[in-house]
Amino acid sequence: MRDLRWVGLHWDEGPERDHPQHGPYFQRLAAARPQALRAAAALEAGQAYEAWESPEELTAERKEAEARKEN
C-alpha cells in the first residue's frame, strides 16, 4: 500500500478506510468467507449437519458401531 501511494495511486475503500459493509481486504481473511457460505448453504439444504463431538468421542462411537457391525 505504501508503494501504491508512492506512485500516486489512491483508493476509495480498503483496509485503511473504515467501510464495514465491504471487505475483507486481505486474501487470508477472504479465504474463509466462501467456505462458510458453502457450509451454511449445505446446512440449509439438509445436505450437512452440525457435529460438536471431539475427535476422541467420534473414534469411540465409530469403534462401538463397528463392534455392532453398523455403519
14-43 tens-digit pLDDT: 767 666 666 666 777 667 778 888 899 999
Q: Report d(CA 40, CA 48) in Å as an integer.
A: 9
Q: Residue 10 in 3-state DSSP?
A: coil
pTM over 0.75, yes/no: no
Q: Report d(CA 45, CA 20) in Å as an integer.
A: 29
